[in-house]
Amino acid sequence: MFTYYLCVFAKSIKVKVALSIINSKSLSRKKINQLLEKSGLTVGEDSAVTTPFFCEFGRVSIGNNVYINASCVFLDNANIRIGDNSLVGPHVTLSTANHPCEPSKRHASVISSPITIGKNVWLGAGVVVLPGVTIGDNSVIAANSVVKGNVPENVLFAGAPAIFKRNI
């Protein structure tokens, strides 16, 4: 068990060092992607991550031709996958981490569930996606929405909590 935690800690340090460099310097898209990949993230062809950007463990897979705008926070205790041709607006939070509601258990454990963003998805500015959510292909999540449940393909969701608005 100690070895497992040591490996997780080492990976987290590697990610933090890469992000420190990326977020403090003016680097090309190619250099940013190389540093992200060296720290464990998967970044597809023609994808761009605008700084500042934050993740913790490098459990992020970014498809081809994806654009991630500035000031995004990916809490990647579990895997986060973003499909090809997707757009992630500024100040978006993808959080795979949660805690028990009971006060006595809250500090003792983290409950993690993966997030999957389909292909051709657009997450507007300030969107929050909670643990365990899957967003279907071609869907749009309006700015400042909070997504707490799965979203089907080809729909517009908006609000807090995000609800169905119309088909696309």
Q: Where are the domains of the chain?
A: 44-167
Helix axes of 29-38 and 2-24: crossing angle, nearest 10 degrees? 170
Round to whole Å and give the CA distance between 79 and 33: 18
Mean pLDDT of 83-95: 99
The 10s digit of each residue's pLDDT in 111-132 is: 999 999 999 999 999 999 999 9
Round to whole Å and give the CA distance between 122 and 151: 12
- Residue 143: name the closest of 93, 100, 78 by CA: 93
Would you state the pLDDT for residue 168?
96
Residue of 38, 99, 105, 106 marked active site: 99
Residue 40 Ramachandran class (φ > 0 left, ψ -120 to 50 alpha, else beta): left
What's the CATH code, domain 44-167?
2.160.10.10
Q: Determine contact, residues 93/129, Cβ cutoff 8 Å.
A: yes
| pLDDT higher than 80, residue 8 | no
pLDDT band at 65 (very low <50, low <70, confident <90, very high): very high
| 138-144, Cβ contacts within 8 angstroms, sequence gap of 24 or more | 138/168, 139/168, 140/168, 143/89
| pLDDT higher than 70, residue 92 | yes
Catalytic annotation on 107? Answer: no
Would you state the pLDDT for residue 125?
99
